[in-house]
Structure 1
Amino acid sequence: MSIKTLVIVCGFLAISRALENISVSETTHKDQNDNGNVQEVSNNLEHFESNKKFQDLLARMEHLEAREKSREKTYLKQLNSLRRQLVIQARRTASLEGKVRRLSNKSPDSLKQELKKTDSKDTSNDSNGRLRHAPIESREEVQTQRIRRAENENPVAFFATLSQHLTHVGAHQPITFDNVVTNIGNAYNSHFGSFIAPVSGTYVFSATLFSHYHTNYHAQFVKNGQAITTMYVSGSEAGYDTTSQTIVLQLQKGDDVCVQNYDTDRPVYGYNYSTFAGFLLQEDMSSSAIVGR
């Protein structure tokens, strides 16, 4: 073999080795790029998942904050209502104590003189212009009512909450507010969720109802089995909802009042969010004696 041919062969071998080195280098660089791309995609996925979890956490915190604000407003309304009721009861108690003290300090003769003064006021003119005294029955009725008012007028008030959730409540089923906080006069029955008037008079009732998450339902104030009003609790849009209603009723002794569910198979939110309260505003002294006397 000549020197020229040997040089050519050596050149070809060098070129071939250089090409192989270039190919190996490109393959290694490509593998490194592929590994870098995979790592970058993995990092992006982890970042996306972290952002999603963070957004979900923010949404839950906003929902909890809105729910707490709603609870705070409900509690403030209930506290204001209870404060007003306490003021009314305190005034009535002070008035009754004053009447009892005045009656206990008077002798029978002074009571008769006071009745005579009342009789002198209860007169009118007949067709001839002469004075006509009130009938004896009216004087006796006034005296009886005064005695009964002093002896029998007692405060009547109750306040109860729903401690546990009620599920699958049937149509026209009474809501049993089982957690009794106040029951002056023992007129409220927590087992049946009903109030039975111990005396005839004017009563005030109030109810606050809370909905389960994305749940709607109707409820009614019911007197002696007859619906008086209707309440609607809508939680379908806001998630949770609350409604309150206050009514004034003229009741006879023995009438019962309760809050009933109106729809079929509905849940009522408990945990003391739903409440039922009432009190005697003014007793009717023309009726018969108190139940149980």
Structure 2
Amino acid sequence: MESLEARLSECTQKTALLEQSQWHQENEIRLQAWKLEQLESRGMDENESKVKQLENRLREALEITNKLMKEFEMLRLQSKLDNTSSGQLQACEKCEQDTQGQSLGHTSVRINHDPTSENGKISGGISTSSRMKRTSGLGKTTVAFAVTMSEWRESTLAVHQLLPFNKVLINDGNGFDSNLESFVCPVTGIYFFTATITSSNHKFEGSIVIDGVEKVIITTGEGPNFEQGSSSVVTHCSKGQRVYVFAHIGAVGQISETFSVFSGFLITDLESMSS
């Protein structure tokens, strides 16, 4: 009888120990689950924060680009106004000289009866008028474009593969060709070009290129989150030359559609100035 009671007591103690151990295990599981939820929540918050930061940086970059475009446009217009004023002043001075010359020429005709002198003066007057017309025609060429990508892409980019900029935001002057994914200069001049690339998971390396000649390099950081890189250049571009963005060797990863922008505009139309 005592042996049975001892065994029952021992079983009761073991049961209590098992229940206590199970309670500890359940608490440990709850604690680990809580920690996992906290980590996941913190990770999501960090990603959302980085996305917001990238959106803010992109917004700032676009604002800076727009500001630069306005400043360059003002400088271009001011330069053309100065050139126009200078050209008109020279033309007026030339007109006065020609008018004085015509008076002397008429006197010569009356005395010498030389018709070639009068014709020569008339020809000079027409030439001056033509120069005035050409000068007053400056400043009417407007070229500006901005493009993004039509979809999110995640792929390995080949050597010198053009980035698929094919979603047009603005294309004044019709310089950007969506089929070529390139800007084709409609007039010879001085241009401003800029590109902003946003990627994730891998580092991106590329360039802004004019007819195979790399002008500036674009790079992004390497990491699991969004990374962004931008480059700009002011350069001469002849009529018919192609301007585009291509990737370098080993540039792979995700290229965000609306976070990547390629844009540019004409600063000075050299064709109008030289005509």
Specify the TM-score bucket, using the shorter chain as the normaliser.
0.7 to 0.9
The 2-side partners of 1:117 and 1:63 are apart by 73
The match for 2:28 is: 44
1:180 matches 2:168: yes
Q: Find the residue that maps to 2:204 and give its secondary structure.
A: strand
Unaligned runs of 5+ in 2: 99-122
Q: Is the 8 A contact 1:208 1:242 kept in 2?
A: yes
Q: Given the alignment, which residue of 6, 26, 40 partners 2:10?
A: 26
Q: Is the 8 A contact 1:165 1:267 kept in 2?
A: no
Displacement after TM superposition at 1:279 (Å): 0.4
- Which amino acid is the alignment partner of residue 219 of structure 2? Y
Displacement after TM superposition at 1:36 (Å): 2.2
Q: Give 1 or 2 for the bigger CA radius of gyration.
A: 1
- Which amino acid is the alignment partner of residue 164 of structure 2? T
Q: Is the 8 A contact 1:115 1:143 kept in 2?
A: no
Q: Is the 8 A contact 1:145 1:285 kept in 2?
A: no
Unaligned runs of 5+ in 1: 1-16, 120-135
Q: Is the 8 A contact 1:145 1:286 kept in 2?
A: no
The 2-side partners of 1:175 and 1:143 are apart by 46
The 2-side partners of 1:141 and 1:67 are apart by 62
Q: Deviations over 1:10-64 (max 9, x none)?
A: xxxxxxx345324312322321221221222122122212212222221231132
Displacement after TM superposition at 1:259 (Å): 0.9
The 2-side partners of 1:242 and 1:118 are apart by 61
Q: TM-score, normalised by structure 1?
A: 0.71
- Correspondences of 1:187-206 after superposition (within 5 Å): 187-206=175-194
- Correspondences of 1:256-271 after superposition (within 5 Å): 256-264=242-250, 266-271=252-257
- Which amino acid is the alignment partner of residue 242 of structure 1? Q
Q: Find the residue that maps to 1:175 and give its secondary structure.
A: coil
- Correspondences of 1:158-237 after superposition (within 5 Å): 158-166=145-153, 167-213=155-201, 215-236=202-223
The 1-side partners of 2:177 and 2:97 are apart by 42
Q: Is the 8 A contact 1:197 1:253 kept in 2?
A: yes
Distance 1:95 1:152, change over 3 A: closer
1:275 matches 2:261: yes
The 2-side partners of 1:191 and 1:204 are apart by 22
Distance 1:196 1:57, change over 3 A: same
Q: Find the residue that maps to 2:46 and give its secondary structure.
A: helix
The 2-side partners of 1:118 and 1:286 are apart by 26
RMSD: 3.6
Q: Find the residue that maps to 1:182 and give its secondary structure.
A: strand
Displacement after TM superposition at 1:86 (Å): 3.3
Displacement after TM superposition at 1:118 (Å): 9.3
Q: TM-score, normalised by structure 2?
A: 0.75
The 2-side partners of 1:234 and 1:157 are apart by 29
The 1-side partners of 2:90 and 2:148 are apart by 46
The match for 1:116 is: 95
The 1-side partners of 2:185 and 2:128 are apart by 23
Distance 1:266 1:54, change over 3 A: same
- Matched-pair identity in %: 19
Q: Find the residue that maps to 2:220 and give its secondary structure.
A: strand
The 1-side partners of 2:42 and 2:253 are apart by 29
Distance 1:206 1:235, change over 3 A: same
1:35 matches 2:19: yes
Distance 1:83 1:115, change over 3 A: same
Displacement after TM superposition at 1:247 (Å): 0.4
Q: Find the residue that maps to 2:207 and give its secondary structure.
A: strand
The 2-side partners of 1:145 and 1:172 are apart by 48
The match for 2:104 is: none
Displacement after TM superposition at 1:229 (Å): 2.3
